[in-house]
Amino acid sequence: MALSERDRDLLNRCLEGIDQSWREFVDRFVGLVYQVIEHTSQSRGIGMGRQDRDDLVADVFLELIQDDFRVLRRFRGESSLATYLTVIARRIAVRELLRQQSSRRRTAILAGPKFGQDDFRRHFENADLVRRLLEQLNERESMVVQLYYLSDLKYHQIASRLGVPENSVGPTLARARKKMHRWLSQRSASQIS
């Protein structure tokens, strides 16, 4: 199936940076990306929670916009845009799911603390640990983490408060979680040694 005129126009507007085009792009293809991620995780027998799925969807869209839409600029239009995005989303999902499996195995071997969506809240009692976790992040990541976990704000509320696009909150939170998880894993490994 060839690239439709509607998708060609939408893609061109995104690449040209025309207002609201990226939001329209995300709205048009977010269901497809969710479906690909769900199918990929199920076919590999890997269960995913809602937050992990949301984060992975955000990672797919983040990769699409990185380096001035590098992935989208490589699209040659020899298939439908949905087919191209399915392949991209599947590759990213497989890569991330394999990375997560490997990370879970290492964490289990180290028997160190895990860092998931609710773990940050469990560490509140230890103010020093929270401070040290936040030091691992840049200023924007730190603000997003604090607003999400400490203030219990939703993505749209965080976006409004920080004056950033709503679709950037999830990827920022995902990057912050990865950094905090990595720091906790390294800390655990050094305590074992």
Q: Tell me the pLDDT tens digit for each residue of 116-159.
A: 545 555 544 456 677 777 788 888 888 888 888 777 788 888 88
* Predicted TM-score of the model (pTM): 0.54
Query: Lowest mean pLDDT: which of 6-20, 79-93, 122-136?
Result: 122-136
Give exposure, 119-148, as e/b (b: 16+ Cβ within 10 Å). bbeebeeeeeebeebbebbeeebebbbbbb
pLDDT attached to residue 49: 81
Question: Is the separation of the CB atoms in 22 and 65 below 8 Å?
Answer: yes
Q: Pick the residue with more confidence: 157 or 188?
A: 157
Q: Say yes or no to pLDDT of 109 above 50.
A: no
Handedness of CA 94, 96, 102, 104 (dihedral sign): negative
Distance between first and last Cα of the chain:
56
Q: Tell me the pLDDT tens digit for each residue of 26-52.
A: 999 999 999 999 998 888 777 778 888
CATH topology of domain 119-192: Arc Repressor Mutant, subunit A (1.10.10)
The stretch 66-76 carries a mean pLDDT of 89
pLDDT attached to residue 101: 66
Which top CATH class is 5-110? mainly alpha
Q: Where are the domains of the chain?
A: 5-110, 119-192
